[in-house]
Structure 1
Amino acid sequence: MKKILPLIFILNFGSLFSQSKENKLELNDTWFGGETENNGKPVIIRGRQYLKNFIDSKQYKEHIEFVWKFENKTENGIPTPEENILMQKVEDALIEKLESDLQSVLTLVYTHDGIRSSIFYTKSVPEFLKRMNKALSEFKKLPIEITNGKDIDWELYTGILKSYNLEPK
């Protein structure tokens, strides 16, 4: 009499249905910060250096610069504490709407001489604007200007990093 031996297959269903590691982007939320001077006024910068995987993905082909012109600035060109608190609330709201699924990524923020500029890279400008408007709907009118441009190789981002002797990681 023949014995039938049960066959046992061990399958990793997660690997069958998940994205390949090359396509899966993870955001390292480590930030660097620095301060320098320009024309006797402070320039404060902070950013994410660990975005090479986003650059290499070629999915984020445009940058958007979100420029806030201070309503009240201090003598050295930085925002008042009250305006700085409001700017942080706005930034938090934008990050919540734009980065939850990595549709867009905040890369750099610099403050100098009456402005704060936030540079995002995005997969889709129309989607960025839709989400931005939703995020900002809870705030009163803000003193902002928005510009965008094609930047497949992230030249704006890498150029700013290089000016601080940094490289994307």
Structure 2
Amino acid sequence: MGGYNESFLTNRWENFFDFDALESADEYGKYPEGEENEYQLPLPDKKSFYEEINLFITKHNAQFGTNDDLIESGNVLPSDVIIAEAPGKNKEIKLVDFIKEAIYYSFVPLTEVPVLYQHIKSKQTDDYMPVNKKQNIRVCHRYGRIERRCHDKGAYGDSRGQCGLYKLLLRK
């Protein structure tokens, strides 16, 4: 995505955070629609993203005595059920839920001040509010990786200093 003057910038951000549409279509929308040079965000294919999901499945199976299968990268669609509903234990968990969590988690350092927040605030994000507090080096309890402040205009990244949202979801 290139810059604030880009055509369809708001549409792309709204599309990126429209998890209901992603679940029903199993892919992100294309912009500009109907034109020759359409752009479409890819689905997650980063190996560590799927490894972390499998770790979650393994721990869930051990804790609740279930037998949900592990998943393979590239063989799962956003609407696919990863963990079946267990009455009294958990709701049905789909791949789109893991995508949503990874994206929302990457925006924790944001406040309502950055220009970007105006593009992501929608009905999909109404129940989410970024935390406005000093950020520290920490081990992420969800994914077990160490994160630290990057030198790239206040962005946050992992222990190798990689910044950016796509590192969470896409392989490099």
Same topology, TM > 0.5: no
Structure with the bigger RCO (C-alpha within 8 Å, sep 6+) is 1
TM-score (norm 2): 0.28
User: 1 or 2, which has the higher strand percentage?
Assistant: 1
TM-score (norm 1): 0.28
